[in-house]
């Protein structure tokens, strides 16, 4: 595979990775702007803008945007996160110019028709309602709000029904003009692509995204505490968070290995003890979500109300124990899993495009496979234990839970004891 990078005069970066064995191409536009870039009166506007980009331009109706890609057998979609918004398509090699044209059109020439805006606001209100009806999703919104209180990182990406329905077309245009600028945009194309052709198409069609970089968003600060909600459900859904590390932190890979060992698979400590030995739940997992300047280490499980306190005691014990006794064999296994996952992602043109775009937005350059593998290999038992110890002593945990029973406060107290268990 061959990675090529061109930075245009506007600051927009074009990165391609030719995968000659493929007949299809994955390409998209990644903007280094997401929900954490919203002002207090803009809650949910990033996600709404992503929706509205597909609802008509000066050249195409909403139907024509979908049809032009689907008539050539491709597909087109978008996604909003805390730190990025992405618009992407998959097509045959011969249709790459068409995909670039459509993607540039929806971002350069959106009409934001008032009737379409009202319809799409209602669609998002339904999406918010669906999340409210899914406790295994809602608990993560609650966790985010406790982990990052009173700041953009702690707000739901979707917004609220009230905030979403308050926006007018001028709000969308102002947000787009402020945040969608060349220095904060990456066009990534992988698979059956020719770098020169992609650069030429992007130069022709993305010329109006210029100006200085967008304002730097508010720095995130980890809070802690609890949000507990009694609901008539079959299970208690409970999630715990500790302050993790950012994308550029030297301990990132050690903490990722720690997360994998603690709760990253069927052989992990939490899965074996909580599910296999004690039968306390069907699903339990640990994860680490790194952002640009901070991270969130989390553990999630769903369990019977009668078992929630025992489950939390096991979570506290296993987390503290792992920080003190993680073994060479466990570290080797987690490192192997990370490397295989990385290689599997490289076999998907879509995953590869997303990876390249994120690397440029975070690090300013593509990161060679050998460099990533080297950082994984550099993780040792001691660096992994140190990452676990630092995680525990960094501050008060955040805990979110919803479900039946009156024992949720007890579970929160048990989780709070984790800091005192640091090895």
Counted domains in the chain: 2
Q: Mean per-residue pLDDT for 229-241?
A: 94
Specify whether 20 is located in the same domain as 124.
Answer: yes
Q: What CATH number corresponds to the domain at position 73?
A: 3.30.830.10
- Classify residue 211: in a domain, yes or no: no
Indicate if the pLDDT at residue 102 is higher than 60. yes
Q: Which of 231, 156, 225 is nearest to 402 (CA)?
A: 231
Give the pair of three-digit tokens for residue 91.
């097509």
pLDDT of residue 188: 98
pLDDT single digits (tens) 354-401: 999 999 999 999 999 999 999 999 999 999 999 999 999 988 999 999
Structural domain for 369, as ranges: 225-421
Confidence category of residue 416, pLDDT binned at 50, 70, 90: confident
Confidence category of residue 414, pLDDT binned at 50, 70, 90: confident
Specify whether 9 is located in the same domain as 138.
Answer: yes
pLDDT single digits (tens) 293-317: 999 999 999 999 999 999 999 999 9
Specify whether 187 is located in the same domain as 293.
Answer: no
- Classify residue 99: in a domain, yes or no: yes
Specify whether 182 is located in the same domain as 38.
Answer: yes
Specify whether 194 is located in the same domain as 251.
Answer: no
- Classify residue 219: in a domain, yes or no: no
% of the chain at pLDDT higher than 90: 90
Would you please indicate which residues are annotated as catalytic (active-site) residues? 50
Specify whether 311 is located in the same domain as 200.
Answer: no
Indicate if the pLDDT at residue 421 is higher than 70. no
Q: Mean per-residue pLDDT for 246-251?
A: 97
Specify whether 139 is located in the same domain as 192.
Answer: yes
Indicate if the pLDDT at residue 264 is higher than 60. yes
Q: DSSP character for 110?
A: B
Indicate if the pLDDT at residue 419 is higher than 80. no
The pTM assigned to this predicted structure is: 0.94
Confidence category of residue 141, pLDDT binned at 50, 70, 90: very high
| Three-class secondary structure of residue 402 per DSSP | strand
pLDDT of residue 423: 42
pLDDT of residue 72: 97
- The mean predicted confidence, pLDDT, of the chain is 95
Specify whether 126 is located in the same domain as 14.
Answer: yes
Confidence category of residue 1, pLDDT binned at 50, 70, 90: low
Specify whether 163 is located in the same domain as 304.
Answer: no
More confident call, 241 vs 211 = 241
Report yes or no: 11 and 213 within 8 Å, Cβ to Cβ.
yes
More confident call, 273 vs 208 = 273
- The whole-angstrom separation of Cα 265 and Cα 277 is 15
* Domain termination residue (choose one: 205, 236, 260): 205
Q: Which of 339, 320, 319, 324 is nearest to 268 (CA)?
A: 319
Q: Mean per-residue pLDDT for 405-421?
A: 80
Specify whether 296 is located in the same domain as 239.
Answer: yes
Q: DSSP character for 23?
A: S
């Amino acid at each position: 595979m061959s990675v090529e990078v061109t930075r245009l005069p506007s600051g927009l970066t074009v990165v391609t990775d030719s995968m000659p064995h493929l007949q299809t191409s994955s390409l998209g536009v990644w903007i280094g702007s997401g929900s954490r870039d919203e002002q207090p009166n803009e809650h949910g506007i990033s996600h709404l803008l992503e929706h509205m980009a597909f609802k008509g331009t000066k050249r195409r109706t909403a139907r024509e945007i979908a049809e032009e890609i689907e008539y050539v057998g491709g597909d087109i979609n978008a996604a909003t996160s805390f730190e990025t918004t992405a618009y992407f398509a998959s097509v045959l090699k011969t249709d790459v110019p068409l995909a670039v044209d459509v993607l540039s059109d929806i971002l350069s020439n959106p009409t934001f028709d008032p009737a379409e805006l009202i319809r799409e606001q209602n669609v998002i209100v339904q999406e918010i309602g669906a999340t409210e009806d899914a406790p295994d999703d809602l608990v993560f919104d609650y966790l985010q709000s406790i982990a990052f209180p009173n700041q953009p990182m702690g707000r739901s990406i979707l917004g609220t029904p009230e905030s979403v329905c308050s926006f007018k077309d001028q709000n969308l245009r102002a947000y787009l003009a402020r945040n969608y600028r060349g220095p904060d945009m990456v066009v990534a194309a992988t698979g059956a692509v020719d770098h020169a052709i992609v650069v030429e198409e992007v130069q022709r069609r993305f010329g109006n995204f210029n100006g200085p970089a967008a304002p730097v968003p508010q720095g995130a600060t980890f809070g802690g505490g609890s949000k507990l909600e009694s609901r008539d459900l079959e299970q208690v859904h409970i999630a715990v968070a500790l302050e993790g590390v950012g994308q550029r932190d030297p301990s990132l890979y050690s903490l990722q290995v720690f997360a994998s060992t603690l709760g990253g698979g069927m052989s992990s400590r939490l899965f074996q003890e909580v599910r296999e030995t004690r039968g306390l739940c069907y699903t339990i997992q640990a994860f680490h979500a790194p952002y640009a300047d901070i991270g969130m280490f989390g553990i999630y499980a769903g369990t019977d109300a009668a078992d929630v306190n025992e489950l939390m005691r096991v979570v506290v014990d296993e987390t503290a124990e792992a920080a003190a006794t993680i073994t060479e064999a466990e570290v080797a296994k987690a490192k192997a899993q990370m490397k295989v996952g990385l290689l599997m992602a490289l076999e998907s043109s879509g995953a590869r495009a997303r990876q390249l775009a994120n690397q440029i937005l975070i690090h300013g350059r593509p990161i060679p496979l050998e460099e990533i593998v080297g950082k994984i290999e550099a993780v040792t038992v001691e660096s992994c234990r140190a990452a676990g110890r630092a995680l525990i002593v960094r501050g008060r945990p955040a805990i979110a839970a919803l479900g039946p029973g009156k024992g949720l406060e007890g579970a929160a107290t048990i989780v709070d004891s984790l800091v005192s268990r640091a090895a």
